[in-house]
Amino acid sequence: MPIVLKCHRGLGPAVTGTALVAQDNFSARYDLDRLKGTFSRPAHKLCGQSYVGRILVLQTAKGGVASAWMLREMAARGLAPKAIVFDRTNTILAQGAAFAEMAMVDRFEAGDPTTLIRTGDEVRIEPDAGLVTILNRD
Amino acid sequence: MRLTDDEKAILAGEAGPARQWAIRHQMAVGQFFDAPDFVPVGQAHIMADTESLGEAGVAWLEELAALRAPERRVRVPTITDPRGLDPGSYKRLRQTDAMAAIEARAIAAFEALGVLMTNTCINYQTVLPPVRGEHLAMGDTGVVIYSNSVQGARSNFEGGPSALAAGLTGRTPRYGYHLDGHRVGTRHFQVRQRPRDLADWGALGGIVGKATNSYWEVPVVGGVEGWVEGPPNSDELKHFGAALASFGSVAMFHMPGVTPEAPTPADAFAGRPAPQAVSIGAGDFEAFYAGYAAAGDKVDVVVFAAPQLSLIEMQQLAGLIDGRHIHPETSLVVTTSPEIKFAADRMGLTARIETAGGIVAAGVCFYQSYAREMAEANGWQRLLTNSAKLVNIIAGYGYKPTLASMERCIDSAVAGKIV
């Protein structure tokens, strides 16, 4: 039986992909090299890693209002994550995901998703149902 | 979400595709945050500098701008945050004609939508100050925290697309700081030392922000009442709030005896028991400054921005710089709103600052205007400012920032090194 995690109703389409997890936060403006599709802030735990096509699992959204434009712009250039899973997001990243039509979920019943999902897990996100399924583990 | 007949009609496309996109976007966000319905807003304020928009964002705006006028015009007064470039000073700052060209496209699109190009993050001082209880869709963290806390208005952080959506529909989903339940104090701080100047007020915002560190927490800052110098003024609260929002992602604070929803500490916590207060004293301020200290270093650029300067700050700055000359290897950049720039021109303040070697830029706020490209083009690295918000964010663009009072910033600009 795959592991099923309940969360709050999310945003965007249902997607399946490979997780990239860190106990760290996310700012589209300050943490990323958006031209290369990698984390670039030296202090970030995922520095140097590509987020393109991955399901990012992080703790909270940081940074300024500008991030609301950026997810869509990243998606338009084909250099965006497939989905973002937060423990708790802020308004700006939620608005940015809505604008980009990107999958985003947060507020898990079982606690912080960065402790529940591991890098490399195959994960199914169903935002409308508020469900995240870890497909490769029992 | 419960919808009115008007909202159902917008959703059905009867008010055109722009408003239909807008309400769909707002419903997605509203459902995510459990908004029961929409609330009408008095103003919307859009953060949409071209560095953030990119080509994709500008092209998207141009699609909206190509619609028929009745389908594309905003329904409530909609104004803009600082832009990516000031046509009057961009060449002196070594920004490029390509940046100016994409900026011109974005402005043309916004004007076609009926947006007023105020280009300011101090609209609460200079355009139409928010009123207690007024619902708003404000798109700059410093504007939101000031409107909520100092003026008692109600807004979430609204990113550019959401603020534009609010302008198009005249409403926003009722969640977060639109609701009484989110406006109650949750954290408690006690200030033991009155901040001496604007940099200190920003430092205080940074200290409280680092300790609070959540959009969903509301810090209550006590100890501000009863000072012989009187309560903080608008510029002091501007720097405090901007830094608090920047360091902590915080959207609202209470200052008992100063802010309107907290005449007393008991009001700030809505009658609930106050948490144990965290004391903030001289040592906390010293540690905050020490985190950015660089005495003796050559200073490449001294910046007064984030937030834009009020007319009073422009006068203070001109008074400190009169009869002096900025060091030839140091640049001094001052940003303000177009309206304050006009007033400063008229009153001779701009001339006094520029005679000394400074650059006064209008409608920009430095960090939103291709800061990385400016650093590379001008050879800037060590940056000195009296804005705690700026020292927090500008390191991400390759600068080494230091925080100091306006007086020390000017003395350092003249000396060419941090004094």
Closest to B289 in 3D by CA, of B196, B184, B176: B196
pTM here is 0.96
- How distant is the Cα of B386 from the closest Cα of chain A, in angstroms? 20
Q: Which of B239, B263, B289 is the last residue of a domain?
A: B289
Mean pLDDT of B142-171: 98
Residue B160 has its nearest CB partner, among A60, A62, A69, at A69
Domain shared by B59 and B110, yes or no: yes
Residues of chain A in contact with residue B81, where contact means CB-CB under 8 angstroms, are: 65
Q: Model confidence over B102-113: pLDDT tens digits? A: 999 999 999 999
pLDDT score, position A42:
82
Note whether B214 and B236 are same-domain residues: yes
Chain B residues close to A41, C-beta within 8 Å: 396
Residues B42 and B166 in one domain: yes
* Backbone φ and ψ of B22, nearest 5°: -60, -45
Rounded to whole angstroms, the Cα distance separating B362 from B89 reads 8
Which of B60, B157, B216 is facing A65, going by the closest CB pair?
A: B157
Distance CA A113, CA B247 (A): 24
CB-count burial class (<10 Å; 0-12, 13-18, 19+) for A131: middle
User: Which positions ≥6 away from B279 have C-beta within 8 Å?
Assistant: B189, B190, B192
Distance CA B252, CA B221 (A): 11
Phi, psi of B284 (to 5 degrees): -65, -40
pLDDT tops 80 at residue B297: yes
Q: How many angstroms away from the CA of B318 is the closest CA of chain A?
A: 31
Instruction: State the Cα torsion A98-A102-A108-A114 to the nearest 10°.
Output: -130
Determine the residue type at A94: A
Contact between A92 and B159 using a beta-carbon 8 Å cutoff? yes
Same domain, B31 and B108: yes
Element (H, E) at B24: helix B17-32
> How close B81 gets to chain A, by Cα (Å)?
11
pLDDT digits (tens, 9 = 90+) for B246-289: 999 999 999 999 999 999 999 999 999 999 999 999 999 999 99
Q: Given 3.50.30.10, 3.40.50.300, 3.90.700.10, 3.90.1150.10, which CATH number is that of A3-134?
A: 3.50.30.10
Look at B162 and A76 and tell me if their CB atoms are within 8 Å: no
Q: Are residues B215 and B200 in the same domain?
A: yes
Chain B residue numbers with beta carbons less than 8 Å from the beta carbon of A77 are 56
Question: Largest alpha-carbon pair distance within chain B?
Answer: 66
Q: How many residues does chain B have?
A: 419
Would an 8 Å CB–CB cutoff place A62 in contact with chain B? yes
Chain B neighbors of A70, CB-CB under 8 A: 52, 54
E strand or H helix at B237: helix B234-248
The backbone torsions φ and ψ at residue B234, rounded to the nearest 5 degrees and listed phi first, read -65, -40
Asked which of B274, B289, B304 is the last residue of a domain, the reply is B289
Residues of B in Cβ contact (< 8 Å) with A8 = 32
Q: SS3 sequence, B107-160?
A: HHHHHHCCCECCCCCCHHHHCCCCCCCCECECCCHHHHHHHHHCCCCECCCCCH
Q: Are residues B300 and B276 in the same domain?
A: no
Burial of B190 (0-12, 13-18, 19+ CB in 10 A): middle
Structural domain of B66: 5-180
Please name the residue of chain B whose CA is at the shortest distance from the CA of residue A89.
B215
In tens, the pLDDT along B325-336 reads: 999 999 999 999
- Check pLDDT > 90 for residue A66: no
Q: How far apart are CA B296 and CA B275, in angstroms?
A: 42
Contacts of B179 in chain A (CB under 8 A): none
DSSP H or E run through B371 = helix B371-378
Residue in A66, A90, A91 nearest the CB of B52: A66
Tokens of residue B120, six digits: 């300011």
Q: What's the whole-number mean pLDDT along residues B106-133?
A: 98
- Please indicate, yes or no, whether residues B241 and B374 belong to a single structural domain of this protein: no
Which residues pair with residue A103 across a beta bridge?
Answer: A83
- Residue A64 touches partner B, C-beta closer than 8 Å: yes
| Domain at B106, CATH number | 3.30.499.10
> How many angstroms separate the CA atoms of B225 and A1, rounded?
60
pLDDT band at residue A27 under the 50/70/90 scheme: confident
Query: ipTM of this predicted complex?
Result: 0.94
Q: Are B33 and A62 a contacting pair at CB < 8 A?
A: no
Q: Are strands B187-191 and B44-46 parallel, antiparallel or unpaired?
A: unpaired
How many domains are there within chain B?
Answer: 3
If you measure CA to CA, which chain A residue comes closest to B243? Answer: A64
CB contact under 8 A, A68 and B393: no
* Cα angle: B185, vertex B190, B194; to 5 degrees: 125
